[in-house]
A and B are shown apart, each in its own frame.
Chain A
Amino acid sequence: AQKITQTQPGMFVQEKEAVTLDCTYDTSDQSYGLFWYKQPSSGEMIFLIYQGSYDEQNATEGRYSLNFQKARKSANLVISASQLGDSAMYFCAMRGVVTGGFKTIFGAGTRLFVKA
């Protein structure tokens, strides 16, 4: 069975510092995708970054980078130079294969608080 685990219910970071949000996953698929989404208090899910299981380089998108360690089955999100607007829920997700297509499962999320 596929599973996503986010063990940090809440995290605090000082503005302008970097923060790492943890995500581990479990799957027997050889090909899969890993995602991070941000959900502000407004409720809308915002795509941040994607990493394919065969990608050798860690994905980066602006201030976001994904620290992908395949052997450890971890896909941590690193946010550099935190901003007050980064305060939100962050969800790790995995896309795996099901009969007839693909299926995405989400972790429970980590709430990030950025302090001024």
Chain B
Amino acid sequence: EAGVAQSPRYKIIEKRQSVAFWCNPISGHATLYWYQQILGQGPKLLIQFQNNGVVDDSQLPKDRFSAERLKGVDSTLKIQPAKLEDSAVYLCASSLVPGGDEQYFGPGTRLTVT
């Protein structure tokens, strides 16, 4: 079974530029999560999708971050414009059911904003 795929693995941009990350969850997993992990901290949930609907986006900075999950499969997270404090690893995870015992994580995208 293929795991959660993410691309790109690394991205370096200048502040005020835009960037997009892509995630393809495990086939059949209804729930998809985007987390932001700043160096030295635990992951922080940005947005959670159930199929193609948003369950929770309370910690998503909506003035600059947006996410979509068209057709309830893969997802894109966008930042526009980027700030220095957005430098972090962006992790995508999926689970079979919303309250699933386990989330499966992708390898993450390391973003550096200069």
Q: Is the CB of B107 within 8 A of A43?
A: yes
Task: Please report the C-alpha to C-alpha distance between residue A95 and residue B110 in the assembled complex, in whole angstroms.
Answer: 25
A105 close to B (CB within 8 Å): yes
In the complex, chain B residues 26-70 whose Cβ is within 8 Å of any chain A Cβ: 31, 33, 40-45, 48, 50, 55-56
Determine the chain A residues whose CB is within 8 A of the CB of B45 once the complex forms: 103-105
B80 close to A (CB within 8 Å): no
Determine the chain B residues whose CB is within 8 A of the CB of A33 once the complex forms: 99, 101
Looking at A33, A42, A101, the one whose CB has the most chain B CB atoms below 10 A away is A101
Chain A residue with Cβ nearest B91: A45
**Range of interface residues on chain A?**
20 to 34
**Range of interface residues on chain B?**
20 to 34
B21 close to A (CB within 8 Å): no
Main secondary structure on chain A at its contact with chain B? strand
Determine the chain B residues whose CB is within 8 A of the CB of A102 once the complex forms: 55, 98-99
A44 close to B (CB within 8 Å): yes
B23 close to A (CB within 8 Å): no
Contacts A91-B42, A91-B43 given; indicate if A43 touches B89 (C-beta within 8 A): yes
Counting from the closest, the 3 A-B pairs by CB-CB distance are A106-B42, A45-B105, A101-B55
Pairs across A and B, CB under 8 Å, 14 listed = A33-B101, A43-B108, A44-B105, A44-B106, A45-B43, A45-B91, A95-B99, A98-B55, A101-B48, A101-B99, A102-B55, A102-B99, A104-B45, A105-B45
